[in-house]
Amino acid sequence: MQLKLDIAPLDSWAKKHHRPLIIAGPCSAESEDQLMQTCSQLKDMNVDIFRAGIWKPRTRPNSFEGYGEKALPWLKRVREELGVPFAVEVANPQHIELALKYGVDVLWIGARTTVNPFNVQEIADALKGVDVPVLIKNPVNPDLALWIGAIERIYGAGIRKMAVIHRGFSGLHASKYRNEPMWQIPLELKTAIPNMPIIGDPSHTAGKRALLQEIAQKALDLNFDGLIIESHIDPDNALSDAAQQVTPQGFHKLLSDLKFRILREASDDAVFINHLDVIRQQIDNIDRELLEVLKTRMALVEKACEYKIQHNVSIFQVDRWNEIFRSRSDWAKKMNVNEEFISEIFKLIHIESIRRQTEVITMQELASIK
Ligand code: PEP
Ligand code: MN
């Protein structure tokens, strides 16, 4: 699926924008002083947009839920005195009305809001006729269609200055990250809407300071268009997301340690293009061979299935599959191929093999009835 949306380029609205675009600021606005101090330090560190949450969607009640409207004049003052545009999260039409009243520069829709189409539609309706850039975070669950649906709703309201934020996805299993990056999802989004700017949010993906660098670097290596990073003057005592925030100095170090390796999407260097073409052709050939091999494997599975039916043996033997998974992981290890990747591939092969064998049995049963 490819969507042709007439999205405004990032440069057209993020005026002083660096490559990548840099958004930074505390998770939450906690006081006027905190905002002024944080922003005056970040200002000298190439920050294009200052972020601060004032309505905080918290997973559990009795957590700090933000200062709401009271914090808007603080942000307005920051912008007036320090000249850095500001962004806040909005989750309903009333938030939008208030944020606009104080001249907000950029709005963002949080991950817990993107999951709810009713909620996103209400926001979209409130944005009709408004000219403000909107950033749409991925939904908390790994559902690309839901993310694209939210983009379509906001786009349908006439918003053209927009970007998406990748903040990772919550998973069932314990992971080293607060939210699993599942990089293939933002990349699929980029494939579906190639001109959609994409901003990485290492803070909410990582959940802890120590992992920020790794995630931010990965986002840049995948050619993301920007980063949004939480920074607080006293992170350990922050009222929300303490473990993942960095001081402005920490933020500065993070940025200076990043390697801006891939900046261009394409090159017009003829030697480079030719060489890349040769490698791509080799990949195409290998993919064709992979398909042939998979086809041959499936034919063998069918043969084994027919043989099992003739001998009244059930199609699924737990021991056989456990042995397949174990041996293939061992082979992967010996061949220095990522074991997790191989086990995911064999899970898919298993599903397809069961599906195909069930089909063979059903067909044989139907034939015997006739
Ligand atoms: C935030 O940016 O502070 C926030 C609440 O993030 P998310 O919606 O990604 O959880
Ligand atoms: Mn936060």
Q: Give the tens place of pLDDT for each residue, 280-336.
A: 999 999 999 999 999 999 999 999 998 988 898 877 788 888 899 899 999 999 999
Q: State the distance from the centre of ligand 1 to the C-alpha of 276, rounded, in angstroms.
A: 39
Residues 168 and 279 both lie in one domain: no
* Structure confidence at residue 52 (pLDDT): 98
**Residue 220 and residue 199: Cα distance in Å, rounded?**
9
**Would you say residue 77 lies in a domain?**
yes
Residue 231's domain comprises 10-257
Nearest residue to 318 (alpha-carbon basis) of 326, 307, 310, 329: 326
**CA-CA distance, 79 to 105, in Å (whole number)?**
9
pLDDT, tens digit (0-9, with 9 covering 90-100), for 103-147: 999 999 999 999 999 999 999 999 999 999 999 999 999 999 999
Does residue 65 sit in the same domain as residue 147?
yes
Q: Are residues 82 and 158 in the same domain?
A: yes
DSSP structural state of residue 194: T
pTM of the model: 0.81
Residue with the larger pLDDT of the pair 263 and 128: 128
> CA-to-CA distance for 90 and 81, rounded, in angstroms?
24
| Ligand 1 atom at minimum distance from 165 CA | 9
HSE (CB half, 13 Å, CA atoms) of 336? 0
Please name the residue that has the structure tokens 């922050």. 238
Q: Ligand 1, from 28, 204, 205, 229: best to mutate by most atoms within 8 Å of Cβ? A: 204
Q: Determine the average pLDDT of the residues in 47-61.
A: 92
- Say if 4 falls within a structural domain: no
For residue 313, CA distances in Å to 57, 304, 308, 368, 370 come to 55, 11, 5, 17, 23
Q: Between the CA atoms of 330, 336, 341 and 344, what dihedral angle is there, to the nearest 10 degrees?
A: -20
Ligand 1, atom nearest to 201 Cα: 9
- Position 95 in a domain: yes
The reply to whether 181 and 274 lie within a common domain is no
- For atom 10 of ligand 1, the residue with the nearest CA is 111
The per-residue pLDDT for 63 is 87
Domain closes at, from 204, 229, 257: 257
Indicate if 75 and 49 belong to the same structural domain. yes
The per-residue pLDDT for range 141-166, each reduced to its tens digit, is: 999 999 999 999 999 999 999 999 99
pLDDT in tens, 225-251: 999 999 999 999 999 999 999 999 999
Residues 195 and 78 in one domain: yes
Which residue's alpha carbon is at the smallest distance from atom 3 of ligand 1? 27
CATH code, 357 = 1.20.59.10
Give me the percent of the chain exceeding a pLDDT of 90: 79
The residue out of 257, 286, 311 marking a domain boundary is 257
Residue 162, in any domain of the structure? yes
Residues 284 and 252 reside in one and the same domain: no
- 3-class secondary structure, 156: helix
CATH number at residue 203: 3.20.20.70
Classify residue 142: in a domain, yes or no.
yes
Which ligand is closest in space to the CA of residue 111? 1
Mutate to test the pocket of ligand 1, among 137, 178, 227 (most ligand atoms within 8 A of CB): 137
On the question of pLDDT at 60 being above 70, the answer is: yes
- More confident call, 171 vs 258: 258
CB 185 within 8 A of CB 171: no
Residue nearest ligand 1's atom 4 by CA: 110
Q: Do 234 and 132 reside in the same domain of the chain? A: yes
One-letter amino acid for residue 237 of the chain: N
Residues with CB under 6 A from ligand 1: 27, 53, 57, 110-112, 137, 167, 204
Asked if pLDDT for residue 263 goes beyond 60, the answer is no
Average pLDDT taken over every residue of the chain: 93
Same domain (yes/no): 245, 318? no
Residues 203 and 181 in one domain: yes
Choosing from 58, 89, 108 the residue with most ligand 1 atoms within 8 A of its CB, the one to mutate for a pocket test is 89
From the alpha carbon of 113, which atom of ligand 1 is closest? 8
Q: How confident is the model at residue 17 (pLDDT cuts 50, 70, 90)?
A: low
Number of domains in the chain: 2
Would you say residue 358 lies in a domain? Answer: yes
Where is the domain boundary, 225, 257, 289? 257
Residues 250 and 276 in one domain: no
Ligand 1: residue whose CA is nearest its atom 6: 110
Question: Residue 147: phi, psi to the nearest 5?
Answer: -65, -50
Cβ proximity of 151 and 193 under 8 Å: yes
